[in-house]
Amino acid sequence: MSQVLWFRRDLRIEDNAILSNAKGKVLPIFIFDKNILKSLSKDDMRVSFIYKSVLGLKEKLKNIGLDLAIFFDEPVNVFKKLVEKGFDEVLCSVDFDSYAKTRDEKIEEIIPMRRFLDSFILNPNDHLKKDGTPYKVFTPFYNSLKLITSSNNIEELKRNETLQKSIFDYDFIPSLKQMNFEEQELPDFLELEAYELLKQFKEKINDYKVQRDYIYVNATSNISVHLRFGLISPKQVFNYFKSFNDENSEFFIREIFWREFYNYILVHYPYSEHSNFNNIELSWNENEDDFNKWCEGKTGIPIIDAAMIHLNKTGTMHNRLRMIVASFLTKNLFIDWKKGEKYFASKLLDYEASSNIGGWQWGASTGADASPYFRIFNPYLQSKKFDKDAIFIKSVLPQLKDLDAKLFHIENGASSNLFVDYPKSMVDISLSRKQAIEKFKRAKNEH
């Protein structure tokens, strides 16, 4: 029996299910999947990050006597060749994404696959309400997990130390250029290892509950990208903070379970990837110019524009800003959340289908446990509250740096200054809010 260990979104050697369950001679592999890469732009930052992480994984595997064979191909082609070479089983972690599910079905026609769950703490299929149906609301879902959340440690998987490296050509490493990508400069926090990030965050965790909403403060963990690509497991994050045994850690751990919750929802309700979770029907605004202004940060509303320009430049966006721009797109512009979701998917370094869909459906008031449709963020009040001195806004829109911060928190405040080049608001905030509430009310009544 020669096993292939297919690393996908679990680019680590600790608490790794495939390194724990494998036996004997193994071939660890990573595939730069042409099917995925062909749809990405040359300057996609995620590819630079994954590339760096895959090379890092190769080094770590070498340090424990193994290695990593790297391919640039379609997975089907890779496995056809590996079967010819005598490999007869694939071990990998479960990937719940819809592309991954169809891809795996095709691979299973070529070679048997054994999948393990280690990208999430909870297996969604193992946890239902007493009546046998899945949870739909976060708080009862979270409370029902007390057995897990009240424990001080969730057992991590130990690596099988007797594994041996299969004989193979491990030398091939495609360059980013060969794969048609350009190396991108990454935000500083992505230069750090996952545990270094957690250690830094530990110093700030006492302020997390209060500070995490302030857009200009770096008060959160920044761990989402590492979690997304499995450079650390959610179990390891849980155990690290549990070891401090304090209230602030508990609050942070609860946030980690939002990620579990949205994955749980998507697994149980896969239709919510493409449709409103609550099944209401809305006739959205199809105007492409409106949508493009939002994407490019040309709405005339400083907090929205700063958030979108920052996303386009860095691939990152603060959680509070994600909520504000999602509310603005779906309620004030009345544009379908799916368009916003798709745009985020193309830009976010931490893009994770389940969290992104969950976050968007929450913002659009169409999702599981969503915000009520009549509670619509006013972007001016949000910036007044969470970026009072316009520190974040001015850092992204330097042409406005000399304006009085108060102007950013009133409609058309910034554009009223004739000495700066800044557009008027593309939409009347209170009128569009009223119209959205009417549309939602009608859709709910018709439902």
Ligand X SMILES: Cc1cc2nc3c(=O)[nH]c(=O)nc-3n(C[C@H](O)[C@H](O)[C@H](O)COP(=O)(O)OP(=O)(O)OC[C@H]3O[C@@H](n4cnc5c(N)ncnc54)[C@H](O)[C@@H]3O)c2cc1C
Our finding on whether 46 is near ligand X (CB under 6 A) is no
Q: Is 259 among the residues that bind ligand X (CB under 6 A)?
A: yes
What are the contacts of 367-370 at 24+ separation with CB within 8 A?
Answer: 367/265, 367/272, 367/276, 367/277, 367/278, 368/136, 368/137, 368/265, 368/269, 368/272, 368/277, 369/136, 369/137, 369/138, 369/261, 370/277, 370/278
Beta carbon nearer to ligand X, 74 or 255: 255
User: Which is closer to ligand X, CB of 349 or CB of 405?
Assistant: 349
DSSP letter at 431 equals H
96 is in an annotated binding site: no
- The mark string for 187-216 relative to ligand X (x by CB under 6 A, - otherwise) is -------------------------x----
- Is 103 near ligand X (CB under 6 A)? no
By CB under 6 A, the residues from 353 to 372 that bind ligand X are 355-356, 359-360, 363
CB nearer to ligand X: pick between 319 and 412: 319
- The rounded distance, in Å, linking the Cα atoms of 319 and 325 is 10
Distance from chain centroid for Cα 276:
20
Q: Confirm whether residue 212 is marked as ligand binding.
A: no
CA distance 237 to 71: 30
Count of residues binding ligand X (CB under 6 A)?
A: 27
* Residue from 194, 326, 368, 403 in contact with ligand X (CB under 6 A): 326
Angle between helices 302-314 and 319-327 (to 10 degrees): 120
Contact map string, positions 215 to 244, toward ligand X, x by CB under 6 A: -----xxxxx--xx----------------
| Strand pairing report for 164-165 and 25-33 | parallel
**Is 196 one of the annotated binding-site residues?**
no
User: Counting Cβ atoms within 10 Å, is residue 384 exposed (0-12), middle (13-18) or buried (19+)?
Assistant: middle
Shortest Å distance, C-beta 188 to ligand X: 14
Could you tell me which residues come within 8 angstroms of residue 393 by beta carbon, excluding any fewer than 6 positions away? 302, 303, 306, 383, 387, 400, 408
Scan residues 155-174 and list those touching ligand X (CB under 6 A): none
User: Which residues are known binding-site members?
Assistant: 208, 220-224, 252, 255-262
Binding site for ligand X (CB under 6 A): 212, 220-224, 227-228, 255-256, 258-259, 262, 319, 322-323, 326, 344, 348, 350-352, 355-356, 359-360, 363
User: Which residues are known binding-site members for FAD?
Assistant: 208, 220-224, 252, 255-262
